[in-house]
Structure 1
Amino acid sequence: MRIWRILLAALLLLQGGCSWLGGLFDRSEDTAAPPAELAPLDTGYRVRVVWSRDVGKGADARYLRLTPAVDGGRVFAADLEGRVAAFEADSGRPVWKQSLDARVTGAVGVGEGLVLLGTAEGEVIALDWRDGSEVWRSRTTGEVLAPPQAADGMVVVQSEDGNLAGFDAATGEREWIFDRSVPPLSLRGTSVPLLIQGAVITGLASGKVVALTLDRGIPVWETTLAVPRGRTELQRMVDV
């Protein structure tokens, strides 16, 4: 009889323990506070078209970044076929238009009173900011895909073959050239040179950034941002 009492007591303890453990792991009743209701968030920005003008065919489905330039209250734009136009920035009123016998592949650059364009044939064309008349035309070493830059009496152009060239802004005479080769495989396009405090700073397809003197194109410093790694040329691309 005593043994049965002991077994009965043990069973009662086990039953109570199971109930307690079941309550411990029972997650049917969630005591966490419910999440706060999200307030409506308006992230949209309503853009209103002020004016729109047609310059030509644009990039003609080619991978070209023919972006306009803005300077002195005017917008300057060009298309692949060499049509160039200037508009008043506030109203879109046409100021002048020009047709060049060249395929424009570089975006429009503005500076030193000039509207600057690069071509597929490696030409650099400078137009008068005021009326669009051609001031000079010179040549660099390859196709130009980035907008020419101008400052302190100089025009600097970076071409697809990796070279940079400096031209006299008044005459178009080439003053210097910085020669750098490009890897066997690189992205189509180049960095836009930055002209600041008498220097030219730009990125190269080799993964480097260089600084040159603006007046003579003499290297001042060079640094490596990315080192080519990998077995294939695709893996080794480090364009800046």
Structure 2
Amino acid sequence: MPAPNLPGHLINTPQISVRGVIFDMDGLLLDSETLAMEALICAGRDLDYDLSLSFCERMIGVPEDGCAVLLRESFGDGFPAERFFAMQAAHLRRFIGEGRLVTKPGVVPLLDLLDARHIPRAIATSSRRGRAEEQLRRVSLYDRFDAIVSRDDVICGKPAPDPYVTAALRIGVAPELCLALEDSTNGAIAAFAAGMRVIVVPDLIEPTAEVKEQALAVVRDLSVVRDYVMRYAR
């Protein structure tokens, strides 16, 4: 089957069939990381903390509790993390209300293919459930997934494997038969630890050398993933 977008090693090397697909959300399904970074900076400014973009990017793919640890390590134990995240969420809701949240290229065609092939799919996100559901509804994606695993659904968030293991259980597919799709290093590490093959679609930050070495592929957008699924889904 022709697949001109696929890297050569994915065509020439035997691949395990895809029985389920697990998606990250922010930066992978939703073009939300830029908005999230802007909201973090605005919240810091509101509280008289100067958060640089490079510092905020260190929080990409990290659950809120992990971000709180990073903030307190950097700005002191007195950093008002709960107030900060509430203000960040308010800024983000405002940006979304202004119509600035959109899906990433290739999302809908990939989901259409999964529908046609009857391939179950789930989301494994570091976001809290309320935020994840609100944003997915905003872009008309909420009803297109068989399960949504949020930070509220697991004891340990990414880079622990819990979100991906839980997502695989909820769609009834063994981890080794799942394809995980990630944009962040922490997310990719979580999926590797869960025993899944991973395709990385970078958003704001390039994957580390270690992630590149372990990933099935690093590709420009989800249209390449669609070609992979078209070729190897069973």
TM-score, reference length from structure 1? 0.22
Looking at secondary structure, tell me which structure has more strand per residue: 1
TM-score, with length taken from structure 2: 0.23
Bigger relative CO (Cα 8 Å, ≥ 6 apart):
2
